[in-house]
Amino acid sequence: MSNKPDHETETKPDRPRVLLVDDYPDAREMYTEYLEFSGFEVVEAENGMEALQRAVDAAPDIILMDLSLPVMDGWEATRRLKADSRTATIPVVALTGHALAGISEGAKKAGCDAFVTKPCLPEDLVKEIRRVLDSTANKKARRSGKYAKTIG
Amino acid sequence: MARLGVDGEPGLTDSAVRLRLLEALVSRADLAECAQAGLQWLHETLGIPRSLCLVRPVADPSLMVVGAYGVKGAASFSLSLDDWNNPLVTAIVERRPMFFAAPHSPADRKRRPATPFEDAPFHLQPLGLTGFSQEPFGALMLAADAPVRANLQWFSTVLGQKLDQILRQDALSEGDRRQGRERGLLYSIINAVSDPILLTDTEGRLLIANSRALMLFTATEEESEGRRSAVSMNNMLLSSALSSKAMEETGAARRELLLVNPIDGSDLVFELLSTITEDPRHGSGVVSILRNVTDLRRASEEIEENYRKMRMAEAQARAESDRLNLIIDSVADPIVVTDAAGATSLMNDPAERLFTIPRNASAIEQRWVQANDAHFSSFIAGMLVSADRRRVGEIGLLDARTGEPMPVEAIAGKILSDHGELTAVVTILHDRREALEKTRLYEQLKQASDELERKIQAATADIAQQNELLRRQAIELEQASALKSQFLANMSHEFRTPLNAMLGYTSMLLQGVAGPVDGPIKRQLSRIESNGRHLLTIINEILDISRIEAGRMPLQMSRFNVPELVGEVKAELEPIILRSKLSITVDVPKDMSPLWSDRQKVKQILLNLLSNALKFTHQGSVTVSARPNPRERVLELAVTDTGIGVALVDQEKIFEDFRQLDNTPTRPYGGTGLGLSICRRLAQMLDGRISVRSELGKGSTFSLILPTKGRK
């Protein structure tokens, strides 16, 4: 991490916190590395059950949720997050290698705010995260009657 | 049945009653006994309680009592025939029955003659034969409340004759007495004869008649009008019969005489036998015997009728027999009638052809007929000895003309007389050849039909088996196809996960996340990235085909703006367009109506077609156009290029899976070879099609033709 000084110094106090849920370690590591490189704070979880716990503990700004997970899958975890008042407002971006029709539908039904198909290049994923965060911030701003600070 | 009791005397018939009296009189020869028997008969028959019988002995002028029934002190009573003042005497002399009622006054009593009946009423009946010229010789006195009529005339005649006969016998000499006895016997005999017998004088006057004749020819005035007129008619008929000329000529005649029965008026037919008798003392007379032939005549009439009927029946039978012969001859089956001895008595023509040797027959033909005869005879012999009334058998005869075997069915029946005697055997022979041939043909037909049916069944079973096999194969294929699609879908997912990491890290390296890269390393990393992307494209396209084939690519229909869509497509390919330096023209009417279809799939097809055009065109231009065709209700979206083109022979191949025309390992164009194959499948899903017009070296036009009629 020593070779990315610009991002760290610049955005450290306001680094949005991302909860990354994925059971494939290489993917988790890759996204974590790039997200931190891109100015995010990353909290990881390996399955749905762990994700629920981390979401409460770490109170992330956004959750990246792989759908095919052991112990508890992404759909179920998302449903539970959206059902819990502590986590209901956190946007969830579904992330899956399954491109078959019906998957995104199921994900939206479970409460996902966005849907990204793997393989997804790190920069594309970051673009999507920023888009969702902006959209959420705008909504919050509209609700609270003032403009929230734009992230990134 | 004629009754005598006019005043009611039921139960007594003429003959039975009279016969009793005749029997009683015939056996007696004593005057008193006869009189007594007569009076007793009167009592029994007519219920006369008291009666007297008086007769005048020969050469005596007074009547003496010879019999009394139920009257006391009558023996001394007598009547002098000279006492003309006595009404009794007058009545007797005049032969007139008379009734003396009980005196109703003393004066009346004085006028009444003294009798043993004293004041009791009585009936006086003179004795003697009516119509016979004889001296009065006796009388009956019967106690009665009213004049007695029934049977009395006949009784007084019969008893009178008997008593007269006895009196005369007493008076005659021994010889005369014998003669008298014989005469009495004769009377008895003629009276006993049931046929009427008469003796008449030459003038036809009745001299002697037996009781049957009396019944026919005599009647007293007291008898009914009908009876009297019947009697007079009978007398007339008899006289005319007797006076006929024929009788005079022959002296004896036998003729028919029709008389009337005076009792019931019915017709009686008699045969009249009359003979003239010469009597020197009394002159000639005629003896007539009438024989009742009423029944005979009826019988003879019946016989005649029967004879006539018989003749008719005979004629009928003959006609019947003729008809039967005609029928028998017209029957095609041989018929043989055999008598009880087994000899043939009748044959029809067909039978004759079998059993009779024709004229000019050859030796072999004769043998055929003889063989037939022998077979038939043996059958008949069997029939004759058996107890069966009917027998059916098969005889192996020969056709008498050709000598070929002729199996016949023989149906024989015995004809029995009314007494159960066998009179004939009738046999009908039925040629079985045709029936046997038919049976044989039927069997053949049946066999063929069975064979055919078996074959059809086998074929049907075979087809069913094949069908079942095909059905299973279809299921298996479907399952295999589904499995393949599922497998591919899973595979693509499994490919993606590592590819995701590879592409991710490559991208990060190129972005300098791990430090700046340049020179050959950057170039090599770029190769890794572009090949990784190509691999991703292949995986995505395989996934698309799998989804289409697995039926997991649903349509999402919407109405969208075509020019806008074309704009998006062009924008997405902008980097390639910029690199290619080709001139790109978009020829889409701005005001065209929106299209109802699956926007995503239309876009995918257009992207593919346009990127192909860009890939295979090195110089010139590429045009994207939209041509609505309202007449055919279609929209044609075309991509036209000036590229390398496709030869006509290859224009179909390019739509096959994994197909690029240049299949060499070092082919100059990238791509999976799945693009057009997917496009064609997607177009079909949208009820449209993809077509190509191209010439090698001169460019191509690929068109997507979509229906515009859909409005859902």
pLDDT, mean of residues B628-636: 88
Q: For chain A, what's the residue count?
A: 152
Residue B606 is predicted with a pLDDT of 92
Provide the terminal-to-terminal Cα distance of chain B, rounded to the nearest Å: 124
| pLDDT tens-place string over residues B595-617 | 999 888 898 899 989 988 988 88
Length of chain B: 712
Separation between Cα atoms, residue B532 and residue B512, nearest integer Å: 19
- Looking at residue B217, what is its pLDDT? 84
What pLDDT is recorded for position B7?
42
Q: What's the rounded Cα separation, in Å, for the pair B145 and B49?
A: 11
pLDDT digits (tens, 9 = 90+) for B395-434: 888 888 888 888 898 899 888 888 888 888 888 888 888 8
Q: Which of B74, B20, B66 is nearest to B50 (CA)?
A: B74
Highest mean pLDDT among B83-92, B454-463, B475-484: B454-463
Return the residue of A nearest to B551 by Cα. Answer: A101
Chain B residues in contact with A37 (beta carbon < 8 A): 508, 513
- Which chain A residue is nearest to residue B541, measuring alpha carbons? A99
Give percent of chain B with pLDDT exceeding 70: 89
Q: Is A126 in contact with A42 (CB distance < 8 Å)?
A: no
Distance from A91 to chain B by nearest Cα, in Å? 23
Q: Which residue has the tokens 């009545």?
A: B91
Question: Per residue, what are the HEC states of B199-220?
Answer: EEECCCCEEEECHHHHHHHCCC
> Using CB atoms, which residue from B496, B508, B553 is nearest to A119?
B496
Question: What's the confidence (pLDDT) of residue B706?
Answer: 92
3-class DSSP state for residue B399? Answer: coil
Which phi and psi angles does A94 have, rounded to 5°?
-75, 145
Q: Which domain holds residue A119?
A: 5-144
For residue range B299-330, list pLDDT tens digits in order.
Answer: 888 889 999 999 999 999 898 888 888 887 77
- CB distance from A58 to chain B under 8 Å? no
Q: Is residue A67 part of a domain?
A: yes
Distance from CA of A21 to the nearest CA of B (A): 14
Nearest to A121 among B497, B507, B540 (CB): B507
Whether A44 contacts A135, CB under 8 Å: no
Which CATH number is associated with domain B557-707?
3.30.565.10
- Give the mean pLDDT of B15-33: 82
Contact assignment for A123 to B507 by CB distance below 8 Å? yes
Tell me which of B492, B500, B506, B542 to substitute to probe the interface with A (most A C-beta atoms closer than 10 Å).
Answer: B500
Q: What is the CATH number of the domain that holds A34?
A: 3.40.50.2300
Residues sharing a CB contact under 8 Å with residue B224, sequence separation 6 or more, in sequence order: none
Residues A62-89 pLDDT 10s = 999 888 888 888 888 888 988 888 888 8
Q: Which helix (H) or strand (E) holds B269?
A: strand B267-277
What's the gap in Å between the CA of B605 and the closest CA on chain A? 18
Whole-number CA gyration radius for chain A: 15
> What is the predicted pLDDT for the residue at B657?
67
Question: Per the CB < 8 Å rule, is A27 touching B504?
Answer: yes
Q: For residue B625, name the pLDDT band (cuts at 50, 70, 90).
A: very high
What is the distance between the terminal CA atoms of chain A, rounded to a whole angstrom? Answer: 19
Q: What total of structural domains would you count in chain A? A: 1
pLDDT at residue A19 in the model: 93
* Residue B69 pLDDT exceeds 70: yes
- Point out the residue among A98, A99, A101 whose CB comes nearest to the CB of B554: A101
Q: How many CB pairs under 8 A join A and B?
A: 63
* Residues B637-672: b if buried by 16+ CB within 10 A, e if exposed: bbbbbbbbbbeeeeeeebbeeebbeeeeeeeeeebb
pLDDT at res. B171: 66
Instruction: Evaluate if residue B665 carries a pLDDT over 50.
Output: no
Q: What's the Cα-to-Cα distance from B20 to each of B39, B41, B225, B268, B625, rounded to whole Å?
A: 13, 8, 28, 26, 159
Percent of chain B topping pLDDT 90: 11
Min distance A38 CA to chain B CA atoms (Å): 9
What's the pLDDT at A13? 54
Return d(Cα A47, Cα A72) in angstroms, integer: 6
Structure confidence at residue B59 (pLDDT): 64
Instruction: Tell me whether the omega of the peptide bond preceding residue A119 falls within 30 degrees of 0, making it cis.
Output: yes
Residues B51 and B59: their CA atoms lie apart, in Å, by 25
Does A8 touch chain B if contact means CB atoms closer than 8 Å? Answer: no
- Mean pLDDT of the region A121-138: 85
d(CA B430, CA B446) in angstroms, rounded, equals 25
CA pair distance B82, B63, nearest whole angstrom? 10
* Alpha-carbon span A60 to A91, nearest angstrom: 9
**Is the pLDDT score of A12 beyond 60?**
no
Q: Which of A34, A98, A120 lies closest to B493 in CB terms?
A: A98
Strand, coil or helix: B118: coil
Q: Which helix (H) or strand (E) holds B468?
A: helix B433-510
Q: What are the residue boundaries of the structural domains of chain B, listed by start?
A: 1-192, 359-431, 435-553, 557-707
Q: What percent of chain A has pLDDT over 90?
A: 16
Most confident range (mean pLDDT) of A135-139, B241-245, B312-316, B664-668 is B312-316
- Collect all residues of chain A within an 8 Å Cβ-Cβ radius of residue B540: 99
Over residues B60-64, the mean pLDDT reads 79
Nearest CA in chain B to A1: B514
More confidently predicted of B324 and B638: B638
Give the closest-approach CA distance of A137 to chain B in angstroms.
28
Test the A interface: residue of B491, B492, B503, B513 with most A CBs within 10 Å: B513
Residue of B nearest to A125 (CA): B504
Q: Mutate which of A6, A8, A26 to test chain B, going by most B C-beta atoms within 10 A?
A: A26
Helix (H) or strand (E) holding B122: strand B122-126
Residue with tokens 């049976």: B439
Distance in angstroms (rounded) separating the CA atoms of residues B596 and B555: 12
Contact A137/B at CB under 8 A: no
Helix axes B519-549, B675-685, angle to 10 degrees: 30
Smallest Cβ–Cβ distance between A27 and the set B492, B500, B540 belongs to: B500
Look at residue B300 and give its three-state secondary structure: helix
| Min Cα separation A76/chain B (Å) | 21
Q: Is residue A152 part of a domain?
A: no
* Helical (H) or strand (E) element with B549: helix B519-549
Q: What is the pLDDT of residue B258?
A: 84
Closest alpha carbon to B162 in B14, B56, B22: B22
DSSP codes joined into one string, B158-177: HHHHHHHHHHHHHHS-HHHH
Could you report the per-residue pLDDT of A30-43, keeping only the tens digit for each? Answer: 889 889 888 899 99
Q: How many angstroms away from the CA of A151 is the closest CA of chain B?
A: 21
What is the C-alpha separation between B156 and B149, in angstroms, rounded?
A: 11
**Is the C-alpha dihedral spanning B99, B105, B108, B109 positive or negative?**
positive
Q: Closest Cα partner for A111 from A76, A61, A62?
A: A76
The least confident of B6-10, B177-181, B685-689, B692-696 is B6-10
What does the pLDDT read at residue B705?
93
Phi, psi angles (nearest 5°) of residue B124? -105, 130
The segment with the largest mean pLDDT, out of B174-183, B285-294, B530-539, B627-636, is: B627-636
User: Tell me, what's the pLDDT at B176?
Assistant: 66
Region of poorest pLDDT, from B375-379, B419-423, B467-471: B419-423
State the pTM of this model: 0.39
Q: Which two tokens stand for residue A5?
A: 């000084």
**A41 CA to centre of own chain:** 11
Inter-chain CB proximity B501 and A26 less than 8 Å: yes
Chain centroid, CA B302 distance in Å: 41
Q: Which is higher by pLDDT, B141 or A110?
A: B141
pLDDT in tens, B350-367: 888 888 888 888 888 888
Distance CA A108, CA B225 (A): 147
Residue B465 has pLDDT above 90, yes or no: yes
Distance CA B161, CA B214 (A): 14
Instruction: Give CA–CA dist B387/B416, Å, rounded.
Output: 12
In this predicted structure, what is the pLDDT of residue B73?
A: 76
Closest residue of chain B to A98, computed from CA coordinates: B493
Cα four-point dihedral sign A79, A80, A82, A83: positive
DSSP percent split of chain B into helix, strand, coil, nearest 5 = 50, 20, 30
pLDDT above 80: residue B344: yes
- Set of chain A residues whose Cβ sits within 8 Å of the Cβ of B497: 24, 27, 97, 118
Give the least confident one: A121-135, B379-393, B476-490.
B476-490
CA distance B551 to B553: 6
For residue B702, the model assigns a pLDDT of 93
For residue B511, the chain A residues in CB contact (below 8 A) are 123
- Decide if A6 touches B, using CB distance below 8 A: no
- CA nearest A33 in B: which residue? B513
Give the residue among B200, B222, B353, B339 at the shortest CA–CA distance from B283: B200
pLDDT value of residue A6: 44
A101 has a chain B CB within 8 A of its CB: yes
Are A100 and B501 a contacting pair at CB < 8 A? no
Instruction: Tell whether A1 lies on the interface with B, counting CB pairs under 8 A.
Output: no
The pLDDT of residue B452: 93
Q: Which pLDDT score is estimated for B347? A: 87
Distance (Å) from the alpha carbon of B613 to chain A's nearest alpha carbon = 27
B514 alpha-carbon distance from chain centroid = 118
Q: In this predicted model, which residue has the larger pLDDT, B210 or B316?
A: B316
Structure tokens at B492: 């693509």
Q: Do B500 and A4 touch (CB under 8 A)?
A: no
Q: Distance between CA atoms of B157 and B218, rounded to whole angstroms?
A: 12
Predicted confidence band of residue B556 (pLDDT cuts 50, 70, 90)? confident
Cross-chain Cβ contact A3/B508 below 8 Å? no
Calculate how close chain A gets to B634, using CA atoms only, in Å.
28
pLDDT band at B668 (very low <50, low <70, confident <90, very high): low
What would the two tokens of residue B708 be? 């515009």
Distance from CA of A60 to the nearest CA of B (A): 23
Model confidence at B488, in pLDDT bands (50, 70, 90)?
confident
Q: Which of B489, B499, B553 sits opposite A119 (nearest CB)?
A: B499
Q: How many other CB atoms sit within 10 Å of the CB of residue B698?
A: 12
Banded model confidence at residue B512, pLDDT cuts 50, 70, 90:
confident
Backbone angles phi, psi at B171, to 5 degrees: -85, -25
Task: Judge whether A119 and B507 are in contact, CB under 8 Å.
Answer: no
B666: confidence class by pLDDT, cuts 50, 70, 90? very low
Q: Is the pLDDT of residue B701 over 90?
A: yes
- Quote the mean pLDDT of chain B: 82
Domain B1-192 is found in CATH 3.30.450.40: yes
Q: Do A99 and B492 touch (CB under 8 A)?
A: yes
Beta-carbon separation of B489 and A100 below 8 A: yes
Question: What is the structure's pLDDT at A75?
Answer: 85
CATH code, B435-553: 1.10.287.130
User: How large is the average pLDDT for residues B480-506?
Assistant: 79
- A26: in domain: yes
Q: Does A33 touch chain B (CB under 8 A)?
A: yes
